[in-house]
Amino acid sequence: QSVLTQPPSVSGAPGQRVTISCTGSSSNIGAGYVVHWYQQLPGTAPKLLIYGNSNRPSGVPDRFSGSKSGTSASLAITGLQAEDEADYYCLSYDSSLSGFWVFGGGTKLTVL
């Protein structure tokens, strides 16, 4: 049970928009710590998708965007494509665990 809660699964048809939430608390996201997002394609290592709540590394399409408000963060994917089917994880810092990073439980995105 992660301290950052994500929906286990989301789905959408090609071309649609989906969002993935990452809900925390006052010891992590709500304390002002930034949120990062990772995409993990089947059988591969995670890849940085969004850093610092809403910044995209070079090479990441602008179809991916991140936001944060209060104790939650969200990842939005527009113009859904088949190759977006993957697991997505949020990552933040949690001050209640002696100052450690924590991942969300992960969300499986299915492109219908």
Partner 1 sequence: QVQLVQSGSELKKPGASVKVSCKASGYTFSNYAMNWVRQAPGQGLEWMGWINTNTGNPTYAQDFTGRFVFSLDTSVSTAYLQISSLKAEDTAVYYCATRYCSGGGCYLDSWGQGTLVTVSS
- Contact residues toward partner 1 (CB under 8 A) are 2, 33-34, 36, 38, 40, 44-48, 51-53, 55, 87, 89, 91, 97-98, 100-106
| HEC string for the chain | CCCEECCCEEEECCCCCEEEEEECCCCCHHHCCCCEEEEECCCCCCEEEEECCCECCCCCCCCEEEEEECCEEEEEECCCCHHHCEEEEEEEEECCCCCEEEEECCEEEEEC
Q: Which is nearer to partner 1, 13 or 42 (CB)?
A: 42
Q: How far is the CB of 15 from partner 1 (least distance, A)?
A: 28
Of 24 and 104, CB closest to partner 1: 104
Q: How far is the CB of 102 from partner 1 (least distance, A)?
A: 7
| Closer residue to partner 1, CB minimum distance, 13 or 45 | 45
